[in-house]
Chains A and B, each alone.
Chain A
Amino acid sequence: MNCQESLRTQSYLDGELHGAEAEAAERHLESCIDCQALAVQAADLSDALRKSARYRAPESLRLRLAARLDRETARKPARGFWYGAASGSGLTALAAGFALFAMLPPSAATLAQSVADAHARALTSGKTIMVASSNHHTVKPWLAEHAGISPPVTDFADAGFVLTGGRVDDVAGTRAAVSVYRHGNHQLDLFAWPDRGAPLPAPGINRGFRTRFWKSGDMDYAAVSDVDAAAFRKFSQLAQQQRE
């Protein structure tokens, strides 16, 4: 490629030239064999590259990013009920989470934030339920298969908490099985995940949702909802008392 005009031809082929400049480049291209060859090769190369590898952001990255933006948003003082209450450990956990996200057992503040985030995410995305069923014989094996853990699942319809289904979610980097209930117009999520020895948060309110945590057997549990305090206490009691 010896033509002195080759850069201008390239600009023309890349659609960078307009008006008189484009016309001049076009006239040159009609008479220059070098530049004609360049044009053909550039088109072939461009075609090949466009058919080639354009990588897409993996779904796991999208989810992690959403969680990090959630935490970032939650750091603002105006929203930080929990961070206000435990700001020291919360910020430390946040810093540690950036570096060692999946390696450390999460702190209590991270856990509280994480289940509230997961609940909020499910509500806003509309993906609250992956398997819809009021039958615990359907929900329990589905969770066992998809979440890899098998917590007890009970329908508390008699007490006003109707089992509506289940989903798999993420709690501070750990896969959790979620049983989903309805109480009037409110949704209650019951999270369960393998106990990693993490300290569990005290009952509280995160992002406007009540959260309550407990350990049972080799699993950690969390109830999350925006129902009133009395109903939430009752639901938590029922969930803690349920057996296989």
Chain B
Amino acid sequence: MDDRRQRFEAQALPHLDAAYNLARWLSRSPADADDIVQDAMLRAFRAFDGFRGGDAKAWILTIVRNCWRSAGAASKRRGHTSLEDENLAADDDPEGTAIQAGTRRRLDALVAELPEEFREVLILREMEDLSYREIAEVTGTPIGTVMSRLARARALLRETAKDCL
């Protein structure tokens, strides 16, 4: 295996779950998420020589988002699909699982309903733990916009998800 491939596997592939999670939440479809992530990782691999250290996670997620954007029109036509998916991170608490499952599914559905610009900042912040600066980088928006979108996303969810929280 050549050196470039090894560096790519060491630096970029650990973020495959993050890439998939973002693609899955943006597209709301397992099939589209698959296509977007494959496309994104291949582009990342081809562009990897231009990547000089730094934040590989934000870099990968930026490419994922761009791929989603350019795949945009075709994917959006499909609309919503069920969020039930065996790839959800497993719950370690078997007793709580049954009780939580219903609530969680409802919350997932509400997140999926959020307008895209709010949904993406929420996913990047709450699930991927990106800083404001990184979110600004990934979404190509000023930090001030990130802050206000995040506030709006949370306010929207608070209103719709009262009984899930």
**B interface bracket (residues with beta carbon within 8 Å of A):** 35 or more
Residues of B within 8 A of A130 (CB): none
Shortest CB-to-CB span from B10 to chain A, Å, is 13
Q: Give complex CA distance A14, B134 in Å.
A: 13
**Interchain CB contact under 8 A, A58 and B34:** yes
Q: Give complex CA distance A194, B108 in Å.
A: 42
**Interchain CB contact under 8 A, B33 and A48:** no
Shortest CB-to-CB span from B163 to chain A, Å, is 11
Most chain B CB within 10 A, of A6, A53, A65, is at A53
Known: A10-B147, A52-B108, A54-B21. A41 touches B87 (CB 8 A): no
**Interchain CB contact under 8 A, B132 and A61:** no
Stretch of A26-34, A66-74, A135-143 on the interface side: A66-74
Q: Does A56 contact B (CB under 8 A)?
A: yes
**Interchain CB contact under 8 A, B1 and A7:** no
Q: Does A127 contact B (CB under 8 A)?
A: no
The residue on A at minimum CB distance from B165 is A44
Residues of B within 8 A of A76 (CB): 2
Known: A16-B132, A50-B127, A73-B1. A58 touches B87 (CB 8 A): yes
A-B contacts besides A52-B108, A54-B21, 14 pairs, CB < 8 Å: A7-B148, A16-B131, A45-B157, A48-B161, A53-B85, A53-B88, A55-B85, A55-B89, A56-B89, A57-B19, A57-B20, A58-B30, A61-B20, A65-B16
**Interchain CB contact under 8 A, B16 and A53:** no
Q: Give complex CA distance A57, B19 in Å.
A: 8
- Other-chain contact of B38, A50, A56, A65, A73 (Cβ < 8 Å): A65
- Other-chain contact of A7, B83, B89, B126, B147 (Cβ < 8 Å): B147
The residue on B at minimum CB distance from A120 is B1
Interface residue ranges of A36-84 to B (CB < 8 Å): 41-42, 44-46, 48-58, 61-62, 64-65, 68-69, 72-73, 76, 79
**Interchain CB contact under 8 A, B25 and A55:** yes
Would you call the interface of chain B mostly helix, strand, loop, or mixed?
helix
Q: Give complex CA distance A54, B33 in Å.
A: 13
Residues of B within 8 A of A241 (CB): none
Known: A16-B132, A57-B20. A68 touches B38 (CB 8 A): yes
Q: Does A229 contact B (CB under 8 A)?
A: no
In the A-B complex, the 3 residue pairs with the smallest Cβ-Cβ separation, listed nearest first, are: A57-B20, A55-B24, A49-B126
Q: Does A1 contact B (CB under 8 A)?
A: yes
Could you jot down 11 A-B contacts, CB within 8 Å?
A11-B132, A41-B165, A42-B154, A48-B164, A55-B33, A55-B87, A55-B88, A57-B87, A58-B30, A68-B38, A69-B45
Interchain Cβ contacts within 8 Å, total number: 115
Shortest CB-to-CB span from A109 to chain B, Å, is 19
The residue on A at minimum CB distance from B90 is A56
Interface residue ranges of B62-101 to A (CB < 8 Å): 83, 85, 87-89, 91, 100
Give A1-19 as 1s and 0s: 1 = Cβ < 8 Å from B's Cβ atoms: 1000011001100101000
The residue on B at minimum CB distance from A7 is B147
The residue on A at minimum CB distance from B91 is A51
Q: Give complex CA distance A11, B132 in Å.
A: 9
**Interchain CB contact under 8 A, A14 and B38:** no
Known: A16-B131, A49-B107. A54 touches B89 (CB 8 A): yes
The residue on A at minimum CB distance from B34 is A61
Q: Give complex CA distance A73, B85 in Å.
A: 32
Q: Give complex CA distance A41, B159 in Å.
A: 11
Q: Give complex CA distance A55, B34 in Å.
A: 12
The residue on B at minimum CB distance from A101 is B38
Shortest CB-to-CB span from A83 to chain B, Å, is 15
**Interchain CB contact under 8 A, B20 and A56:** yes
Residues of A within 8 A of B161 (CB): 45, 48
Q: Give complex CA distance A10, B148 in Å.
A: 10
- Other-chain contact of A61, B37, B127, B154 (Cβ < 8 Å): B37
